[in-house]
Structure 1
Amino acid sequence: MAEKTIRKIGDPVLREICKPVTAITPNIIKLLNDLAETIRSGENRAGLAAPQVGIPKRIAVLDYGTGLIELINPVVVERSGEQTGFEACLSIPGVYGTVRRAQYVKVKTLNRAGEETFVEGVDQVAVCMQHEIDHLDGVLYIDHVKKGQLFNDRNDKPIDVLQMIRMSKSRDW
Protein backbone atom coordinates (compact mmCIF):
# COMPACT_ATOMS: atom_id res chain seq x y z
CA MET A 1 0.00 0.00 0.00
CA ALA A 2 1.07 3.55 -0.63
CA GLU A 3 -0.18 6.94 0.42
CA LYS A 4 -1.15 8.93 -2.66
CA THR A 5 -0.64 12.62 -3.46
CA ILE A 6 -3.94 14.48 -3.47
CA ARG A 7 -4.64 16.58 -6.56
CA LYS A 8 -5.68 20.19 -5.95
CA ILE A 9 -8.28 22.43 -7.52
CA GLY A 10 -7.24 23.44 -11.02
CA ASP A 11 -6.11 19.92 -11.93
CA PRO A 12 -8.32 18.89 -14.88
CA VAL A 13 -8.76 15.32 -13.60
CA LEU A 14 -11.01 16.72 -10.84
CA ARG A 15 -13.53 17.81 -13.48
CA GLU A 16 -13.54 14.56 -15.47
CA ILE A 17 -16.46 12.17 -15.54
CA CYS A 18 -14.82 8.99 -14.35
CA LYS A 19 -14.89 5.70 -16.24
CA PRO A 20 -16.66 2.69 -14.71
CA VAL A 21 -14.65 -0.20 -13.34
CA THR A 22 -15.18 -3.12 -15.71
CA ALA A 23 -13.35 -5.79 -13.69
CA ILE A 24 -11.99 -6.14 -10.19
CA THR A 25 -8.29 -6.57 -10.88
CA PRO A 26 -5.26 -6.55 -8.58
CA ASN A 27 -4.73 -2.92 -9.62
CA ILE A 28 -8.25 -2.02 -8.48
CA ILE A 29 -7.68 -3.75 -5.13
CA LYS A 30 -4.38 -1.88 -4.76
CA LEU A 31 -6.13 1.42 -5.53
CA LEU A 32 -8.79 0.71 -2.87
CA ASN A 33 -6.05 -0.04 -0.34
CA ASP A 34 -4.04 3.05 -1.32
CA LEU A 35 -7.10 5.31 -1.03
CA ALA A 36 -7.87 3.88 2.42
CA GLU A 37 -4.28 4.39 3.56
CA THR A 38 -4.33 7.95 2.24
CA ILE A 39 -7.46 8.97 4.16
CA ARG A 40 -6.24 7.30 7.32
CA SER A 41 -2.81 8.95 7.14
CA GLY A 42 -4.01 12.44 8.02
CA GLU A 43 -6.38 14.26 10.31
CA ASN A 44 -9.89 15.27 9.26
CA ARG A 45 -9.95 12.94 6.27
CA ALA A 46 -13.30 11.23 5.88
CA GLY A 47 -13.30 10.23 2.23
CA LEU A 48 -11.35 10.18 -0.98
CA ALA A 49 -12.26 9.52 -4.59
CA ALA A 50 -9.93 8.09 -7.23
CA PRO A 51 -9.82 11.28 -9.34
CA GLN A 52 -8.43 13.10 -6.31
CA VAL A 53 -5.29 11.00 -6.72
CA GLY A 54 -5.27 11.41 -10.49
CA ILE A 55 -7.12 8.24 -11.50
CA PRO A 56 -10.42 8.86 -13.34
CA LYS A 57 -12.12 5.63 -12.21
CA ARG A 58 -15.49 5.34 -10.42
CA ILE A 59 -13.98 4.38 -7.06
CA ALA A 60 -14.15 6.09 -3.68
CA VAL A 61 -13.57 5.16 -0.06
CA LEU A 62 -14.79 6.76 3.12
CA ASP A 63 -14.47 6.26 6.81
CA TYR A 64 -16.53 8.63 8.89
CA GLY A 65 -15.80 6.75 12.09
CA THR A 66 -18.13 3.89 11.26
CA GLY A 67 -15.61 1.73 9.44
CA LEU A 68 -14.30 1.71 5.90
CA ILE A 69 -16.86 1.95 3.10
CA GLU A 70 -15.62 1.13 -0.41
CA LEU A 71 -17.63 2.34 -3.38
CA ILE A 72 -17.03 0.90 -6.84
CA ASN A 73 -19.29 2.22 -9.63
CA PRO A 74 -21.64 3.73 -7.04
CA VAL A 75 -25.11 4.94 -7.97
CA VAL A 76 -27.46 6.68 -5.56
CA VAL A 77 -30.74 4.76 -5.87
CA GLU A 78 -32.64 6.39 -3.06
CA ARG A 79 -32.43 9.65 -1.16
CA SER A 80 -34.64 11.42 1.32
CA GLY A 81 -34.70 14.28 3.75
CA GLU A 82 -32.55 17.33 3.66
CA GLN A 83 -29.70 18.73 5.71
CA THR A 84 -27.49 21.76 5.40
CA GLY A 85 -24.00 21.87 6.80
CA PHE A 86 -20.38 22.74 6.25
CA GLU A 87 -18.25 20.77 3.80
CA ALA A 88 -14.59 20.91 2.93
CA CYS A 89 -12.42 18.94 0.53
CA LEU A 90 -8.86 17.66 0.51
CA SER A 91 -8.57 18.93 -3.07
CA ILE A 92 -9.62 22.46 -2.06
CA PRO A 93 -7.57 23.20 1.07
CA GLY A 94 -8.23 26.28 3.14
CA VAL A 95 -11.87 26.65 2.16
CA TYR A 96 -15.19 25.37 3.44
CA GLY A 97 -18.76 26.05 2.43
CA THR A 98 -22.37 25.55 3.30
CA VAL A 99 -23.98 22.80 1.23
CA ARG A 100 -27.47 21.28 1.14
CA ARG A 101 -27.57 17.50 0.79
CA ALA A 102 -29.97 14.60 1.29
CA GLN A 103 -30.12 13.36 4.88
CA TYR A 104 -30.36 9.71 3.80
CA VAL A 105 -28.94 7.93 0.76
CA LYS A 106 -28.96 4.35 -0.42
CA VAL A 107 -26.18 3.52 -2.86
CA LYS A 108 -25.86 0.56 -5.20
CA THR A 109 -22.21 -0.37 -5.54
CA LEU A 110 -19.83 -3.23 -6.12
CA ASN A 111 -17.71 -4.62 -3.31
CA ARG A 112 -14.08 -5.66 -3.79
CA ALA A 113 -15.24 -9.16 -4.76
CA GLY A 114 -17.22 -7.65 -7.65
CA GLU A 115 -20.59 -8.40 -6.06
CA GLU A 116 -23.41 -5.89 -6.24
CA THR A 117 -24.37 -4.59 -2.81
CA PHE A 118 -26.20 -1.69 -1.23
CA VAL A 119 -24.82 0.76 1.32
CA GLU A 120 -26.94 3.18 3.31
CA GLY A 121 -25.85 6.40 4.93
CA VAL A 122 -27.53 8.94 7.17
CA ASP A 123 -26.48 12.36 8.39
CA GLN A 124 -22.71 12.92 7.97
CA VAL A 125 -22.12 9.53 6.34
CA ALA A 126 -24.76 10.43 3.73
CA VAL A 127 -23.05 13.78 3.14
CA CYS A 128 -19.68 12.10 2.70
CA MET A 129 -21.10 9.52 0.28
CA GLN A 130 -22.73 12.22 -1.84
CA HIS A 131 -19.56 14.35 -1.77
CA GLU A 132 -17.36 11.46 -2.96
CA ILE A 133 -19.84 10.30 -5.62
CA ASP A 134 -19.96 13.88 -6.92
CA HIS A 135 -16.18 13.69 -7.44
CA LEU A 136 -16.75 10.73 -9.78
CA ASP A 137 -18.92 12.98 -11.95
CA GLY A 138 -16.46 15.88 -12.01
CA VAL A 139 -18.53 17.86 -9.50
CA LEU A 140 -16.92 19.66 -6.56
CA TYR A 141 -18.80 20.70 -3.43
CA ILE A 142 -18.18 24.34 -4.33
CA ASP A 143 -20.54 23.81 -7.28
CA HIS A 144 -23.34 23.46 -4.71
CA VAL A 145 -22.40 26.48 -2.60
CA LYS A 146 -24.56 29.58 -2.85
CA LYS A 147 -23.05 33.07 -3.08
CA GLY A 148 -21.78 34.23 0.29
CA GLN A 149 -21.56 30.69 1.70
CA LEU A 150 -17.91 29.90 0.87
CA PHE A 151 -15.40 30.72 3.61
CA ASN A 152 -11.66 30.93 4.25
CA ASP A 153 -10.94 28.48 7.06
CA ARG A 154 -8.13 30.66 8.47
CA ASN A 155 -10.40 33.55 9.43
CA ASP A 156 -13.97 32.36 8.62
CA LYS A 157 -14.46 35.30 6.26
CA PRO A 158 -16.62 34.79 3.18
CA ILE A 159 -14.79 34.50 -0.12
CA ASP A 160 -16.04 34.37 -3.68
CA VAL A 161 -15.23 31.76 -6.28
CA LEU A 162 -12.76 34.01 -8.13
CA GLN A 163 -10.89 34.68 -4.90
CA MET A 164 -10.84 30.95 -4.19
CA ILE A 165 -9.34 30.25 -7.63
CA ARG A 166 -6.66 32.91 -7.07
CA MET A 167 -5.89 31.39 -3.67
CA SER A 168 -5.64 27.92 -5.21
CA LYS A 169 -2.72 29.13 -7.32
CA SER A 170 -0.93 30.57 -4.30
CA ARG A 171 1.91 28.76 -2.58
CA ASP A 172 0.26 29.55 0.74
CA TRP A 173 -2.11 26.62 0.25
Structure 2
Amino acid sequence: MNSRMLVPAPFPRRPRAAQRGLSLISVLVAIVVFALGMLSIASIYSLAVPAQTANQEAANTAAFGNQFWALLQADPGVVGQLGANTTVSYPTTAISAAPNVLQPWLQGIFSNAQSRLPDASVTITTGKGAEGNACAAATPSTTLCGVKLTVAWQTGTLASSQHTQTYDYQVGF
Protein backbone atom coordinates (compact mmCIF):
# COMPACT_ATOMS: atom_id res chain seq x y z
CA MET A 1 0.00 0.00 0.00
CA ASN A 2 0.79 3.47 -0.49
CA SER A 3 1.73 5.30 2.56
CA ARG A 4 0.43 8.52 1.34
CA MET A 5 -2.81 9.60 2.57
CA LEU A 6 -5.24 11.24 0.27
CA VAL A 7 -6.33 14.60 1.49
CA PRO A 8 -9.30 16.15 -0.17
CA ALA A 9 -8.47 19.35 -2.06
CA PRO A 10 -9.82 22.55 -0.53
CA PHE A 11 -12.63 24.34 -2.33
CA PRO A 12 -11.20 26.53 -5.04
CA ARG A 13 -11.32 30.14 -4.14
CA ARG A 14 -13.37 32.21 -6.46
CA PRO A 15 -11.64 35.28 -7.76
CA ARG A 16 -13.00 38.49 -6.41
CA ALA A 17 -15.84 39.70 -8.66
CA ALA A 18 -15.14 42.80 -10.73
CA GLN A 19 -17.21 45.84 -9.90
CA ARG A 20 -20.37 45.89 -11.93
CA GLY A 21 -22.70 48.81 -12.80
CA LEU A 22 -22.00 52.51 -13.11
CA SER A 23 -20.82 54.94 -10.57
CA LEU A 24 -22.81 58.06 -9.87
CA ILE A 25 -20.28 60.31 -11.60
CA SER A 26 -20.52 58.25 -14.81
CA VAL A 27 -24.29 58.62 -14.81
CA LEU A 28 -24.05 62.39 -14.26
CA VAL A 29 -21.55 62.78 -17.12
CA ALA A 30 -23.85 60.79 -19.42
CA ILE A 31 -26.81 63.02 -18.49
CA VAL A 32 -24.78 66.18 -19.20
CA VAL A 33 -23.64 64.87 -22.60
CA PHE A 34 -27.20 63.90 -23.50
CA ALA A 35 -28.54 67.31 -22.39
CA LEU A 36 -25.94 69.14 -24.51
CA GLY A 37 -26.93 67.04 -27.52
CA MET A 38 -30.60 67.86 -27.02
CA LEU A 39 -29.81 71.58 -26.68
CA SER A 40 -27.84 71.54 -29.93
CA ILE A 41 -30.74 69.85 -31.73
CA ALA A 42 -33.14 72.48 -30.36
CA SER A 43 -30.76 75.24 -31.48
CA ILE A 44 -30.57 73.89 -35.02
CA TYR A 45 -34.35 73.56 -35.15
CA SER A 46 -34.82 77.16 -33.96
CA LEU A 47 -32.58 78.33 -36.82
CA ALA A 48 -34.28 76.18 -39.44
CA VAL A 49 -37.88 77.25 -38.81
CA PRO A 50 -37.43 80.99 -39.62
CA ALA A 51 -35.43 80.08 -42.73
CA GLN A 52 -38.28 77.87 -43.93
CA THR A 53 -40.78 80.67 -43.32
CA ALA A 54 -38.64 83.15 -45.26
CA ASN A 55 -38.36 80.70 -48.15
CA GLN A 56 -42.13 80.22 -48.19
CA GLU A 57 -42.70 83.99 -48.28
CA ALA A 58 -40.25 84.38 -51.17
CA ALA A 59 -42.04 81.58 -53.03
CA ASN A 60 -45.34 83.38 -52.44
CA THR A 61 -43.94 86.53 -54.08
CA ALA A 62 -43.12 84.47 -57.17
CA ALA A 63 -46.78 83.49 -57.43
CA PHE A 64 -47.79 87.14 -57.00
CA GLY A 65 -45.32 88.12 -59.72
CA ASN A 66 -46.82 85.56 -62.09
CA GLN A 67 -50.33 86.82 -61.32
CA PHE A 68 -49.24 90.40 -62.04
CA TRP A 69 -47.69 89.32 -65.34
CA ALA A 70 -50.96 87.60 -66.27
CA LEU A 71 -52.84 90.84 -65.52
CA LEU A 72 -50.46 92.82 -67.75
CA GLN A 73 -50.82 90.33 -70.58
CA ALA A 74 -54.61 90.26 -70.30
CA ASP A 75 -54.92 94.05 -70.17
CA PRO A 76 -51.87 96.09 -71.26
CA GLY A 77 -54.00 99.19 -70.60
CA VAL A 78 -53.07 98.81 -66.92
CA VAL A 79 -49.83 100.59 -67.83
CA GLY A 80 -51.88 103.55 -69.03
CA GLN A 81 -53.86 103.56 -65.79
CA LEU A 82 -50.64 103.58 -63.78
CA GLY A 83 -49.05 106.26 -65.97
CA ALA A 84 -45.85 106.30 -67.99
CA ASN A 85 -42.51 106.74 -66.26
CA THR A 86 -44.07 106.74 -62.80
CA THR A 87 -43.64 104.88 -59.55
CA VAL A 88 -46.66 104.04 -57.44
CA SER A 89 -46.65 102.28 -54.08
CA TYR A 90 -49.51 100.44 -52.49
CA PRO A 91 -49.23 99.63 -48.79
CA THR A 92 -51.94 97.59 -47.10
CA THR A 93 -54.00 100.73 -46.45
CA ALA A 94 -54.03 102.03 -50.04
CA ILE A 95 -55.67 99.22 -52.00
CA SER A 96 -58.56 101.47 -53.01
CA ALA A 97 -56.11 103.90 -54.67
CA ALA A 98 -55.02 101.22 -57.15
CA PRO A 99 -56.64 100.77 -60.56
CA ASN A 100 -59.72 98.54 -60.37
CA VAL A 101 -58.04 95.69 -62.23
CA LEU A 102 -55.25 95.52 -59.60
CA GLN A 103 -57.40 95.72 -56.48
CA PRO A 104 -58.32 92.00 -56.24
CA TRP A 105 -54.68 91.09 -56.84
CA LEU A 106 -53.50 93.46 -54.09
CA GLN A 107 -56.23 92.13 -51.81
CA GLY A 108 -54.77 88.65 -52.30
CA ILE A 109 -51.32 89.84 -51.29
CA PHE A 110 -52.44 91.72 -48.20
CA SER A 111 -55.41 89.69 -46.96
CA ASN A 112 -55.12 86.04 -48.01
CA ALA A 113 -54.49 84.09 -44.80
CA GLN A 114 -52.42 81.38 -46.52
CA SER A 115 -50.12 83.56 -48.61
CA ARG A 116 -50.24 86.85 -46.72
CA LEU A 117 -46.96 88.70 -46.45
CA PRO A 118 -46.47 90.51 -43.13
CA ASP A 119 -46.37 94.33 -43.39
CA ALA A 120 -46.19 94.08 -47.18
CA SER A 121 -46.09 96.89 -49.71
CA VAL A 122 -46.14 96.75 -53.49
CA THR A 123 -44.32 99.23 -55.73
CA ILE A 124 -44.90 99.36 -59.48
CA THR A 125 -42.59 101.42 -61.69
CA THR A 126 -43.20 102.02 -65.39
CA GLY A 127 -40.39 103.21 -67.60
CA LYS A 128 -38.36 102.69 -70.73
CA GLY A 129 -38.70 99.50 -72.68
CA ALA A 130 -35.86 97.13 -73.48
CA GLU A 131 -34.87 99.15 -76.57
CA GLY A 132 -34.41 102.27 -74.42
CA ASN A 133 -37.27 104.34 -75.83
CA ALA A 134 -39.71 106.05 -73.52
CA CYS A 135 -42.94 104.26 -72.78
CA ALA A 136 -46.09 105.76 -74.31
CA ALA A 137 -48.67 104.80 -71.71
CA ALA A 138 -51.51 105.77 -74.02
CA THR A 139 -50.59 102.97 -76.44
CA PRO A 140 -48.81 100.25 -74.41
CA SER A 141 -49.99 97.59 -76.83
CA THR A 142 -48.03 99.18 -79.70
CA THR A 143 -45.00 100.54 -77.84
CA LEU A 144 -42.66 98.69 -75.52
CA CYS A 145 -42.90 99.62 -71.84
CA GLY A 146 -40.79 98.37 -68.99
CA VAL A 147 -42.65 97.56 -65.79
CA LYS A 148 -40.90 96.78 -62.53
CA LEU A 149 -42.78 95.14 -59.67
CA THR A 150 -41.23 95.23 -56.19
CA VAL A 151 -42.85 93.39 -53.31
CA ALA A 152 -41.48 94.24 -49.85
CA TRP A 153 -42.37 92.64 -46.53
CA GLN A 154 -41.14 92.58 -42.95
CA THR A 155 -40.48 89.28 -41.18
CA GLY A 156 -39.61 90.50 -37.71
CA THR A 157 -39.24 93.51 -35.49
CA LEU A 158 -35.70 94.33 -36.63
CA ALA A 159 -35.07 96.72 -39.50
CA SER A 160 -32.73 94.10 -40.98
CA SER A 161 -35.65 91.73 -41.44
CA GLN A 162 -37.01 93.74 -44.40
CA HIS A 163 -37.14 91.59 -47.53
CA THR A 164 -37.79 92.61 -51.14
CA GLN A 165 -38.37 90.71 -54.33
CA THR A 166 -38.23 92.51 -57.70
CA TYR A 167 -39.63 91.39 -61.05
CA ASP A 168 -39.08 93.12 -64.41
CA TYR A 169 -41.53 92.87 -67.30
CA GLN A 170 -41.85 94.16 -70.85
CA VAL A 171 -45.32 95.10 -72.07
CA GLY A 172 -46.14 95.79 -75.70
CA PHE A 173 -44.64 94.87 -79.03
TM superposition score normalised by structure 2: 0.20
The structure whose RCO (Cα within 8 Å, separation 6+) is larger is 1
TM superposition score normalised by structure 1: 0.20
Higher strand share: 1
Higher helix share: 2
Q: Which has the larger radius of gyration?
A: 2
